[in-house]
Amino acid sequence: MSGFGLQEIAGIVGGTIRSGATSLLNPTIQTIAIDSRTIADVHSCLFFALRGVRHDGHAYVEELYLRGVRSFVVCEPVDTAIFQDAVFIQVDDSLHALQQLSAAVRAQYHYPVLAITGSNGKTIVKEWLYDLLHQSVKIVRSPKSYNSQVGVPLSVWNMSDQFDLAIFEAGISLPGEMEKLAAVIQPTIGIFTNIGEAHQENFSTLAQKLEEKLKLFEHCNTIIYRKDQLEVDRLMHALYGNSDKKLLAWSASELPADFELQMTVGAASTRIEYRWKEQAFAVQVPFTDSASLENIGHCLAFILASDYDCDAVRRAFARLQAVAMRLELKQGINNCLLINDYYNSDINSLTIALQFLRSQALNERRPRVLILSDIEQSGFSDEQLAEAVNRLIVAYGVGRLIAIGSGFYKCRHLFGPNAHFYQTTEAFLAAFQPADFKNEHILLKGARDFRFERIAALLQKKYHQTQLEVDLNNLVENLNRYRAQLNPETKITIMVKAFSYGSGTVEIARALEFQQVDYLAVAVADEGLELRQAGISTPIIVMNPEEHSFEMMLEYQLEPNIYSIDLFEKFDQAARRMAVTNFPIHLKLETGMHRLGFSSPDELNEIAERVPRAGRLRIQSVFSHLAASDSPEHDEFTREQFGVFNRLSAPVVANQPNKVIRHILNSAGIERFPEFQMEMVRLGIGLYGVSQSDALQAETVARWSTVVSQVKKVKEGNTVGYGRKGQVEYPKRIAIIPVGYADGYDRRLSNGAGRVWIAGRQYPVIGNICMDMTMIDVSGADVQPGDPVELMGEHIRLTDLAQWMGTIPYEVLTGISQRVRRVYVQE
């Protein structure tokens, strides 16, 4: 887009310019940002300080100023004398100002703008339309699933006169939000995908939510929707039936519609026949599931309504691929960390992927490598694109570029000495040497036509097919849901002990550090050392410190939990030997759990007096642990614990020159006893998806999966597995999956106690679980070798496994073997 000057922006958003500079700086703004961690080009960036429930962008103004940012939109008073050469645009509401500015960008362009809303399918419809049309139409679209009150204006900002079509998603979670998005997008044509239960908690009825969503289309010329959704059809006609809008309803059933599809579903593909302008056509698509076919119907209707239909586009339907909407973080060969992003390939999504790369490599010395394909239909010339990529490489600290495609190859002279070029993916594969990749963070970013999955197969460390997929988006969502229960000033410690409850320590810690949590807690010093060696700088508490590790803890700033006078004496001696001063320690108090901890007021008073006098140590916090915060029948005991904690901690806090942090709440305590949150809380199992209340509704973070190895028929009277426990009363089909108790799939799940999810339903375990294999009774189902199997996830919940095993979710998660590969995904 063409840039704006600050004075022009102030006029657009109705703001007042404030500056401590003697002469007003008025740079041309090329980029906008709302997250201090994502800013690369400080000179042309305008930072919008947004206020949220838990975060306030104004808190990062000083940090950004020190990094070189000089242009800000704020809605709180700022002392301009402190920021002498910065320019602030003062507004009443910085989010509204962001939306106003993007609406002004949108108003500059007159090509078609498609807005997509609905409960599901928005991103897939957008991406498939791009895949179908980008060879002939230059398209600007929402990066990833940027469809919120913030995501939409950030997307619209990317419009420019080099495009022919814009496609933007719009999603809402509250009444009153859609009008704001409609004012930003100003769509000329709309697609309504479907209506479902997502975000229903904020709407009184499904009809109310539907009506709110349809407000996006108030000024559209054409609206596309599915006739088969009767409530959508009814309300669409009630709202817009008497207007001058064209309502284009399509149907795949017997219902008469403006556009009728005949879908013939085969084994691996579907033939779709239709008539348009009195002619018959057909397309073949490589999908058979109902959700994908519905998304195809929306795409086809838009293409016809917009006169994009042609032989090339119809042929492109057969080449559509499933949209991978998330970045994948995996262990690579030779101690590399591999980030796969096959989502889409444009400058905006490249920027997002590089931000993720930087967040994973934060404070770590391993070099960053970018393997990048040509970016087709970018809106730039080859030379402009090369310059844009060069700027991003420098801004995000990429040490080595491997560029694949004829466009980059032609412009290879514009890149530095650490750039390598191949005209095709095949050329790179032919030249590939595993030894060329060691101890690096590698971002693999390619357009789908380049089939970078072949490169990923070479770079990825080889494991068997059982994996634990950790959703970092859901992890962060859970963190924010718990944060919302706290006062803004309350600090938070995240428990990452025991391999982050089985989820993987370093990767989880990196994500949490990027979210700026206050503390991490590990069980033993070796876990903390691993985090420090991976570049994690967040303060770390060691819950079970051992004497032999004291000097290492002091060297690596690992803060001990001190739970006895003997342990205090030994750590104090180590601090004297290491000649440290003011080193933080944490005192554990015994309040009723009867594990580790001080219970003697005399011992606590002695430590409280000695620590400030000697000056070697500093009491950073005092804490205790609730024994039964998740059990309502013990609530009175929990309150008694809190009273004991107050009595024991008060003299310690009073006798220290520094402010001592107090914390007693765990995950269940945060939900059930927020009045006890004090200065800090500790979040553990709740982060990983186990919440105590329906109101919080923690998201599933880990999905444990495998595939079917073999399917066989077993005759009546035979048995399955060790000990002949699996009795076959009638002929059965048995699926064997490559996971057993050595992987953490517990033997207590044997003989029908446990179940797995295959092809849309649950199937029971038959016989005893083996060390490396488990047998599943799939009688009556068309299960085949290679079919995916969910052991734990959306359909088999973590709490289900725990219940079937007769244990708690902690044991299930921590019991998943480290030989099960961890894959980290982020949208």
Q: Which of 462, 483, 514 is the last residue of a domain?
A: 462
Residue 274 within any structural domain of the chain = yes
Identify the three-state secondary structure at position 120: coil
Whether residue 642 contacts residue 681, with contact meaning beta carbons closer than 8 Å, is answered with no
Distance of CA 376 to the CA centre of its chain: 26
- Same domain, yes or no, for 675 and 597? yes
pLDDT computed for residue 500 by the predictor: 63
pLDDT computed for residue 381 by the predictor: 81
Q: Residues comprising the binding site?
A: 595, 771
Task: Give me the mean pLDDT over the 414-425 stretch.
Answer: 93
| Domain CATH code at residue 40 | 3.40.1390.10
Mean pLDDT in the chain? 90
> pLDDT tens digits for 27-62?
888 889 998 877 777 888 999 999 876 678 998 999
pLDDT band at 328 (very low <50, low <70, confident <90, very high): confident
pLDDT computed for residue 305 by the predictor: 93
> pLDDT tens digits for 682-723?
999 899 888 877 777 888 899 999 999 999 999 999 999 999
Q: Which of 661, 688, 715 is the last residue of a domain?
A: 688
pLDDT computed for residue 499 by the predictor: 61
Lowest mean pLDDT among 69-78, 357-366, 478-487, 712-721: 357-366
Residue 745 within any structural domain of the chain = yes
| Domain CATH code at residue 729 | 2.40.37.10
- Same domain, yes or no, for 643 and 510? yes
Whether residue 434 contacts residue 334, with contact meaning beta carbons closer than 8 Å, is answered with yes
497 in active site: yes
Q: Which amino acid is at 796?
A: I
Q: Which amino acid is at 98?
A: L
pLDDT band at 72 (very low <50, low <70, confident <90, very high): very high
Element (H, E) at 274: strand 270-276
The total of other beta-carbon atoms located within 10 Å of residue 121's CB is 19
> pLDDT tens digits for 518-558?
999 999 999 999 888 888 889 999 999 999 999 999 999 99
> pLDDT tens digits for 637-659?
999 999 999 999 999 999 899 99
Residue 62 within any structural domain of the chain = yes
The tally of domains found in the chain comes to: 5
- Same domain, yes or no, for 275 and 139? yes
Q: Which of 462, 489, 513 is the last residue of a domain?
A: 462
Q: Residues comprising the binding site for substrate?
A: 595, 771
pLDDT band at 354 (very low <50, low <70, confident <90, very high): confident
| Domain CATH code at residue 538 | 3.20.20.10
- Same domain, yes or no, for 491 and 611? yes
pLDDT computed for residue 361 by the predictor: 63
pLDDT band at 348 (very low <50, low <70, confident <90, very high): confident
- Same domain, yes or no, for 218 and 69? no
| Domain CATH code at residue 159 | 3.40.1190.10
Active-site annotation holder among 245, 497, 588, 732: 497
Q: How far is CA 541 from CA 521, 544, 595, 621, 788, in A?
A: 5, 9, 18, 10, 40
Residue 375 within any structural domain of the chain = yes
- Same domain, yes or no, for 622 and 526? yes
Residue 226 within any structural domain of the chain = yes
Active-site annotation holder among 109, 463, 556, 722: 722
Which one has a higher pLDDT value, 100 or 394? 100
Whether residue 508 contacts residue 500, with contact meaning beta carbons closer than 8 Å, is answered with yes
- Same domain, yes or no, for 419 and 507? no
722 in active site: yes
| Burial of residue 82, with CB atoms counted within 10 A of its CB: 0-12 exposed, 13-18 middle, 19 or more buried | exposed
- Same domain, yes or no, for 627 and 561? yes
> pLDDT tens digits for 62-71?
999 998 999 9
- Same domain, yes or no, for 178 and 212? yes
- The string of DSSP codes covering 556-604 is TTEEEEE-SHHHHHHHHHHHHHHT--SEEEEEEB-SSS-SSSB--HHHH
- Domain assignment of residue 518, given as a range: 469-688
pLDDT band at 464 (very low <50, low <70, confident <90, very high): low
- Same domain, yes or no, for 314 and 371? no
Identify the three-state secondary structure at position 437: coil
- Same domain, yes or no, for 159 and 127? yes
pTM, two decimal places: 0.71
How many Å apart are CA 467 and CA 707, to the nearest integer?
10
How many Å apart are CA 601 and CA 652, to the nearest integer?
9
- Same domain, yes or no, for 657 and 765? no
| Statement: residue 202 has pLDDT above 80 | no
Residue 248 within any structural domain of the chain = yes
Residue 697 within any structural domain of the chain = no
Residue 802 within any structural domain of the chain = yes
pLDDT computed for residue 363 by the predictor: 58
| Statement: residue 142 has pLDDT above 70 | yes
pLDDT computed for residue 199 by the predictor: 63
